[in-house]
Amino acid sequence: MTSIPAPSPANHAFRGPVLAAIFDWAGTVLDFGCIAPVTAFREAFALAGVEIGEAEARQPMGAAKREHIELILAQPEVQLRWQGIRGAGSTQDDVDRLYADFLRIDEVNCATYSAMIPGALGTVAALRARGVSIGSTTGYPRSVMDGLAPLAAAQGYAPDCCVTVSDVARGRPWPDMPLANAVAFGVTDVGGCVVVDDSPSGLVSGRAAGMWAVGIAVSGNEVGLSFDDWQAADDAARQRMRLAARTKLEAAGAHYVIDTVADLLPVIAAIDARLAAGERP
């Protein structure tokens, strides 16, 4: 983490360069396809006797994980299925049990699906060489990150700051997590921060914090394929999935959308140029 100069007087606009890059975890820097949480949600519901589809599990991605379960249950078809099988509507006690099962299952899944996304380590190293601080946010609680962070560190990834949903009053789509990173770094202007996230709610959070927002399409939740499955898809299918993901991420406010974090450096250069010209996020 580098030393950052004091803020300029109000009549002098911030002109860059980028001060901090704030990354999501699953689907952005590791776990290509965001497989670990999706599998854990589906397994937790299966233990309760109610099967949910992959799309149903993925729909609220980016939210705090307990809230994610509530949002799955709020989907009309899931709630009807729950009532038909369980004989009554879901309750907060049901949410508590599902969440406890999710945390237990995801602890195992995170170890299984913790591989860094190709190009992530090189991108982070290049950013650090430019003096950019490396932050992170996650919808995982601190208890999950206590297990996942060492697995990432063993592969060479250790952000300068990690803010979990357990550390703030409000998770995504509110700006609390990216702003907590900015405060930790002592940045002089949030316009010098770039949020990189594969979920629409993460991008909304970054925009709400007054930061640049970069969406991750191919390796993230919106495409939702493992690396091997993405590689196996034909060109037409890839383009169709890429376009659908891009459209959704742009609708959430992304200034830029890239396939994976490996494509980030040209975007950082473009943001540097826009900042130098006096542009704001």
The helix/strand/coil state of 20 is strand
Query: How many distinct structural domains can be found in the chain?
Result: 2
> Same structural domain for residues 165 and 232?
yes
pLDDT > 70: percent of the chain: 96
Task: Report, as residue numbers or ranges, the catalytic residues.
Answer: 24, 65
In sequence order, the β-bridge partners of residue 280 are: none
Residues 73 and 170 in one domain: no
Residue 164 and residue 42 in one domain: no
Do residue 92 and residue 193 come from a single domain? Answer: no
Q: Is residue 83 part of a domain?
A: yes
pLDDT tens column, 13-41: 899 999 999 999 999 999 999 999 999 99
For residues 25 and 91, membership in a common domain is answered with no
List the structure tokens of 94.
Answer: 């049901």
Are 67 and 104 in the same domain? yes
13 is a domain residue: no
Q: Locate all alpha helices (DSSP H) within the chain, ordered by sequence.
A: 35-47, 54-58, 65-74, 76-86, 92-112, 120-129, 142-154, 176-185, 200-208, 227-232, 235-251, 264-276
- Boundary (domain end) residue, out of 112, 129, 154: 112
Tell me the CB-side half-sphere exposure of residue 143, using CA atoms within 13 A: 12
262 Cβ neighbours under 8 A, 6+ residues apart: 117, 118, 119, 120, 122, 123
Count CA atoms within 13 Å of residue 32 on its CB side.
19
Alpha carbon distances (Å) from 68 to 60, 64, 74, 171: 6, 6, 10, 11
pLDDT higher than 70, residue 1: no
Cα 148 to chain centroid, rounded: 14
In this structure, is residue 15 part of a structural domain?
Answer: no
pLDDT at 13: 84
Q: Are 129 and 268 in contact (CB under 8 A)?
A: no
269 contact partners, CB below 8 Å, separation of at least 6? none
CATH of the domain at 52: 1.10.150.240
Q: Is residue 249 part of a domain?
A: yes
Residue 254: per-residue pLDDT = 98
- Residues 146, 32 contacting (CB under 8 angstroms): no
Give the CATH number, domain containing residue 201: 3.40.50.1000
**Does the residue 158 lie in any domain?**
yes
Work out the angle between the directed axes of helices 264-276 and 120-129 (0-180°, nearest 10): 30
Mean predicted lDDT score pLDDT of the chain: 95
Residue 12 has pLDDT above 90, yes or no: no
pLDDT tier, 94 (very low <50, low <70, confident <90, very high otherwise): very high
Domain that holds residue 107: 35-112
- Based on the fold, state whether residues 86 and 185 are members of the same structural domain: no
pLDDT tens digits, 123-144: 999 999 999 999 999 999 999 9
Q: Are residues 193 and 257 in the same domain?
A: yes
Same domain membership, residue 233 and residue 96: no
CA-to-CA distance for 57 and 232, rounded, in angstroms?
A: 23
Does one domain contain both 27 and 46? no
The residue among 112, 136, 166 that closes a domain is 112
Return d(Cα 28, Cα 144) in angstroms, integer: 17
What does DSSP assign to residue 257?
E
Indicate the pLDDT class of residue 113, thresholds 50, 70 and 90: very high
- Residue 274 confidence (pLDDT): 97
281 domain residue, yes or no: no
Q: Are residues 124 and 60 in the same domain?
A: no
- Are the C-beta atoms of 171 and 142 separated by less than 8 Å? no
- Tell me: pLDDT of 197 over 60: yes
- pLDDT tens digit sequence for 233-255: 999 999 999 999 999 999 999 99
Domain for residue 186, yes or no? yes
Residue 11: pLDDT over 60: no
| Residue 8 clears pLDDT 80, i.e. is over it | no
Q: Are residues 80 and 97 in the same domain?
A: yes
pTM of the shown model: 0.92
Residue 64 lies in a domain: yes
Last residue of a domain, which of 88, 112, 136?
Answer: 112
